Structure 1
Amino acid sequence: MSRLVVTGASGFIGAALVQHLRTLGRPCAGIGRRAGPAVDGVVAAYTTVALTPWVRAGDVLIHLAARAHRPGQAHDDDFADNLRTTAALVEICRAQGAARLVFVSSVGVHGQRTVDAPFTERDAPAPEEAYGRSKLACEQLIVAAADLAHVIVRPPLVYGAGAPGNFAQLARAVARGWPLPLGAIHNRRSFVAVDNLVDFLTLCAKHPAARNQTFLVADGEDLSTPQWIARMAAAAGRRSPHLLPVPSAWLRAAGTLLGRRAAAQRLCDSLQVDSTLARTLLGWTPVVGVAEGLRRAMAPLRTP
C-alpha cells in the first residue's frame, strides 16, 4: 500500500484529508507550514531541500498547499509562490520516484461564472482572476512532466466546519440571523462538502483509471444563493434570515466600490460544474448530501 504525503496539512482541507486517511488506517504523512494535529513535519517553505526528506519511492503526493484567495484586488505576483512550490514538488517526485501526484486545483481555472451550461473537463481553461491563472500554470507544469503520473482535481467552493473565507463569513451572518440583501438573486451554484472532497482525493490516489486525468467534483445538488442560505440556517437550527430584495446590479456596484467585487460576483453569478466523469470513470458517489454536509459545517454555530 502506497504511503500518502499531504502538503498543506495545516490547512482546512489538508487537515481533514489527513484525519480521513488516519481513520482509514492508510499510511500517510502531513506536511505544513505550521504545527497542528494533522502535521507530521513543519517546513518553513515548500522547497526541494525541505521536502526531499519527506518523499520516497512509491509515495503518492496530494498537493494542497497554496496561497489562496486574498481580499481586494489580487495580482499575479501575489500567487507566484504557488508555481514555485509546485515546481519544487514535481522535481522531488521525479527524482525520488513517487508513484503519483494528485494536484488540487480550482474551478477558477475555467472562470468565475457559467451561463448556459455547467463547466465540464472538456471546456477550455479561461481563468479570470490571478488565483485561477496561478492554478492553471501549476497544472501545465505538472502535465509537462510526462514521466510523472498525475491527477488534477478542480473543486468549486469547499465547505465544512472550520472552512475559511467567504463561507465562514456567510455562516456567521446566517447563524446570527442578520438580514441579508440577497433576496433578488436567481442563480445556480455547485458546492462540495469537505467530506466528499477528501473521499474523492483518496480515490484519486489509488484508482488506476484516474491516472493522468482531470476531474471536476461537486456534491451533485446545485442551489441558488437564497436556497443555500436557507439550508445553512436550517442546519444551524435557525429560521432563515430575512433576505432583502436588493437588485444584483446594486450588489455588484457596491462590491466594486468597497473593493469586494469578486465576493459580490460569487453571491450573484451562477457557477455550476458537471462531475459526471468522476462518477462514471471512477464510480465515485458523494458520501454525504448537501443537508448532511451543511449539518456538519454549521454544527459549531448551531443554536442549542
Structure 2
Amino acid sequence: MRVLVTGPSGFVGSRLLQVLASDNSLEVIAAARRESFDRPVAVRLQTGCELSSSMDWAPHLVGVGVVVHTAARVHVMNDTAADPLDAFRAVNVDGTLRLAEQAASAGVHRFVFISSVKVNGEGTTKNSAYSPDLAPAPLDPYGVSKMEAEAGLKEIAQRTGMEVVIIRPVLVYGPGVKANFLKMMQWLDKGVPLPFGSIQNSRSLVALENLVDLIVLCTKHPNAANQTFMVSDGEDLSTSALLRKMATALNKPARLIPLPAWFLHVGARVVGKTDLSQRLCGSLRVDISKTRSLLGWNPPVSLETALKETAVHFQESRKR
C-alpha cells in the first residue's frame, strides 16, 4: 500500500515516517515543501507541497491508498499575524480541505487527520474529561481552525465515500520535544527552584511513540473509519507529579516550592502569562475509552519509560 505523509519534517511526522518505513509492505511518500530534512532511505520525497487553496496535489496522489495529514499551522504563543484566525484558516482549513478533495478524487481510500484537543476546549475540571462525542468548544483561532477542518472533512467523507479518521492529541512529548516541555527539562536540569510544589491539577499527556502507534493503527483498522479518537498515555498526573517524575528521569532533584495555585494565577496575570498559568495549574483530561474499546488499542509505552527516553535524548543532545 502507498501512504502519503504530510508534515514529514515535524515532530510527529518525522517519527511517523521512520515507523512506516520499517514496514516492508508499505511504500511511503513524504510530501514536503523542500528537501532540507532527514528521512529514511526507503521514503520517497515529493517537494513543493504547500497547504493552500490552490495547491495541485494530483501528481503526488497517484496510486496513494492512505493519506496521513500531520502538517498544520501550529498553535504559537503571542501570535503576530494581523488576523490569526484568517492565517490559521488559510492553512488548516483551506489547505487541508483542498488536499482531502483531491485525495478523494484520486481514489484515496482513507484520510487520517491529526487534529487537536483544542477542538474540545482549553481545560476540564480535575474530575471530568473530554471525549470525542462532546460538542466542540474551541476558544482560540487554532482550535477553531481545527474544528472547521474536521467539519469539512466529515462532509467530504459523506459526499465522496473516502474514509476519514480524526485523532485529537493532547500535549505530545518525547525525544526532541520543544517549547514549554523543553523549558521544564532545562529548569530541572539546572536545579532551578520552581513554584509548583502544591499544584494538584490533573492533565493528560501523550508520548510521541504512543501517538505514532495509534496513527499507524488508524491507517488500517476497519473500525477506525469515519471515527474521532482522543489519545493519551492513559495516566493523568498533576504538574507537581510530572516535574518530580521528570526530575527522576534526569537524575536531578526536584526543587519545588509549595506556592498556592491562586498566587501563581495572580502573578501570571500581572506579567501577561495567563495562558501559561492555565497550562501549568489548570486541568485538562481526555477519555480514551472509545479508542481502547473500538480499536483494541492500549498505549504501548509507559509514561515513566517515555519520560526516561525524553530525558536521555535531552542530556545526550547537550553533549554534542
Which TM class, normalised by the smaller chain length?
Answer: over 0.9
TM-score scaled to structure 1, two decimals?
Answer: 0.93
Deviates more, 1:112-121 or 1:34-43: 34-43
User: Which of 300, 305, 308 is the equivalent residue of 1:292?
Assistant: 305
C-alpha contact (below 8 Å) 2:175/2:314 kept by paired residues? no
1:60-92 Cα offsets, whole Å, 9 max, x none, are 001110111111267323412211211211121
Aligned to 1:14: 13
Give the one of 198, 212, 216 matched to 1:184: 198
SS at match of 2:22: helix
Counterpart Cα distance in 2 of 1:276 and 1:27: 32
TM-score normalised by the chain length of structure 2? 0.89
Structure 1 Cα separation of the partners of residues 266 and 140 of structure 2: 18
* CA shift in 2, pair 1:259/1:9, >3 Å: farther
Answering whether residue 227 of structure 2 is matched by residue 213 of structure 1, we say yes
SS at match of 2:200: coil
Q: State whether structure 2 residue 33 is matched by structure 1 residue 33.
A: yes
Would the aligned equivalents of 1:219 and 1:286 in 2 still touch at CA under 8 Å?
yes
User: Which residue of 2 is the match for residue 231 of structure 1?
Assistant: 245
Structure 1: unaligned runs, 5 residues or longer = none
Is 1:70 the equivalent of 2:44? no
Report the Cα distance in structure 1 between the residues aligned to 2:291 and 2:301, rounded to whole angstroms: 16
Q: Deviations over 1:27-47 (max 9, x none)?
A: 211122342113722326224
Cα offsets for 1:223-273 (capped at 9, x unmatched): 100110111111112222x11222222322333343332121011111111
Partners in 1 of 2:58 and 2:270 — Cα distance?
46
Contact kept? 2:9, 2:32, Cα under 8 Å? yes
> CA shift at 1:222, angstroms?
0.7
- Contact between 2:196 and 2:257, CA under 8 Å: does it hold in 1? yes
* Structure 1 runs (4+) greater than 3 angstroms displaced: 47-50, 256-259
Asked whether the equivalents of residues 57 and 99 of structure 1 are also in contact (C-alpha less than 8 Å), the reply is: no
Give matches, 1:202-281, under 5 Å: 202-240=216-254, 242-281=255-294
C-alpha displacement at 1:14, in angstroms? 0.3
Instruction: Say how many residue pairs are matched.
Output: 302
Match for residue 5 of structure 1?
4
| Distance (whole Å) between structure 2 residues aligned to residue 259 and residue 61 of structure 1 | 40
**2:51 is equivalent to residue 46 of structure 1:** yes
Query: Secondary structure of the equivalent of 1:29?
Result: strand
Q: How does 1:7-156 map to 2 (within 5 A)?
A: 7-25=6-24, 26-34=26-34, 35-38=36-39, 40-43=45-48, 45-47=50-52, 49-72=55-78, 75-80=84-89, 81-115=91-125, 116-145=127-156, 146=158, 147=160, 148-156=162-170
Question: Which has the higher mean CA deviation after the structures are superposed, 101-110 or 90-99?
Answer: 90-99
Once residues 254 and 33 of structure 1 are traced to their aligned partners in structure 2, the CA distance between those partners, rounded to angstroms, is: 42
Partner of 1:157: 171
Which of 251-260 and 159-168 deviates more? 251-260
**How far apart in 2 are the matches of 1:86 and 1:79?**
11
Percent identity over the alignment is 38
Q: Is the aligned partner of 1:171 residue 2:189?
A: no
Structure 1 residues 43 and 178, CA gap change in structure 2 (3 angstroms): farther
Task: Give the secondary-structure state (helix, strand or coil) at the position aligned to 1:272.
Answer: coil
Q: CA deviation at 1:210?
A: 0.3
Unpaired stretches in structure 2, ≥5 consecutive residues = none
RMSD: 1.9
User: In structure 1, what is the Cα distance between the partners aligned to 2:236 and 2:96?
Assistant: 31
Seen in structure 2, the aligned counterparts of structure 1 residues 72 and 92 have a Cα distance that, compared at 3 Å, is: same
Q: Check the 8 A contact 1:185/1:226 in 2, yes or no.
A: yes
